[in-house]
Amino acid sequence: MAGDVLAALRAAAGEATGPADDGARPAGPDGPDAAVVRPAGDEDVVAGVRPRYVAAPGSTAEAAALVRVAAARGLAVVVRGAGTRQDWANPPRRLDLLLDTRRLAGVVEHAAGDLIVVVRAGTPVAELQAALATAGQHLALDTPLPPGAASTVGGVVATNTSGPRRMRYGTVRDLLIGITVVRPDGVVARAGGKVVKNVAGYDLGKLFTGAYGTLGLVAECAFRLHPLPAARAFLTRRAGDAAEAGRLAAAVLAAQVVPSALEVDAAPDGRTEVAVLLEGTPRGVKERAAATRALLGGATVADEPPPWWSSYPWRPGDVGLTLTAALSGVPRLLAAAAEARRRHGVALAVRGSAGAGVLHAGLPSATPPDVVARTVAELRVVAGSAGGHAVVLTAPPQVRERVDLWGPVDGLHLMRRVKAQFDPDARFAPGRFVGGI
């Protein structure tokens, strides 16, 4: 039986091989003629669950053919890019086929004059940025990553991961203007286009962004771009506590200095820093840096960011959370984290955007599960009262058993209806998303 399934997947990939429907096929990490279907190995585990098979399509047509076989055979499917966030969210309830998108890579089109790029989902973000930089442009995302990690475009879209500059340029969802997906039934669907104000068709991009691969496979993305800034400056100021950090952030937000990012870092030892990124022309940045330094009551000014910039405050295996709030609620979140650190005696670190109301928090893996559960519950109360949420992104198995990773989410019944429309058999990333979707 297993051999029949493997043969069917290989046959589907072979039948789809040839002139690709989305441009020339890239070689990928294993070369253009490498086998794209194989039995899974220990390196293919997703949040502790091992698949039966791995398939690496080299084109949208190959991906669609593989998904059609999976649909016909009732296979549960999870999509993987670089695998940098495979430990996020819930483990899949079952997993038969892992679709690896790293051969589905490359820039399809770069319309520099229109500030638009169309790129395949398996393309590493760093490679895309390097290609765009030759034209003096960039995708205005600085995705937080563990050291040495390299996210793919599709992974960033699937998890809706945006870094410090979301304050000025928006999130992945804002920058995505077109998308090509493979639905769970193997049908290729497209929405949006290659112009910023395109309103044609159903906005699949917004649905697929942040859906953790539960609605289908992202094959291609079209993004709006921005010119690379001619100059930038980072201003960093030590704050005495969460309250002072909140006051400093409020002063910058109320001024006319137009920061690209406004970040805060509250370390487990109580040290708190506020950092501001300014971008623009050399003269403009210099003048705004002087004004911002005065607002902060003194700050160090540098061309490079502080060491903690655009990184998560946890290591692999730790507990990692996202905390959101209205801007006015950020000081409350910081204060609540400091109080939880004191009350429970935990090494709780908090870091993120004081200018966008999105923070990340980390607890060491050795933190007792009951202490993690109490800390998460307390932070959820504060985040909820501040107009936001507290979501556990990643945690050791013993913590997952004690904590609802997603917590209460508004509109869950609508999410279930969307899932039922796209994936009525619940085969794509089953159980990974909120509410067991």
* φ, ψ for residue 251, nearest 5 deg: -65, -40
- How would residue 114 be classed by pLDDT, with cut points 50, 70 and 90? very high
Chain center to CA of 17: 31
Distant-in-sequence, close-in-space partners of 380: CB < 8 Å, separation ≥ 6 = 389, 390, 407, 408
- The Cα–Cα gap between 214 and 237 comes to 42
Is 140 a residue whose pLDDT tops 50?
Answer: yes
Confidence (pLDDT) at 19: 45
- Let me know: does 104 contact 120? Beta carbons within 8 Å: yes
Threshold 0.85, pTM exceeds: yes
- Let me know: does 219 contact 181? Beta carbons within 8 Å: yes
- The Cα–Cα gap between 193 and 324 comes to 31
- Let me know: does 232 contact 195? Beta carbons within 8 Å: no
- How would residue 80 be classed by pLDDT, with cut points 50, 70 and 90? very high
- How would residue 214 be classed by pLDDT, with cut points 50, 70 and 90? very high
Is 403 a residue whose pLDDT tops 50?
Answer: yes
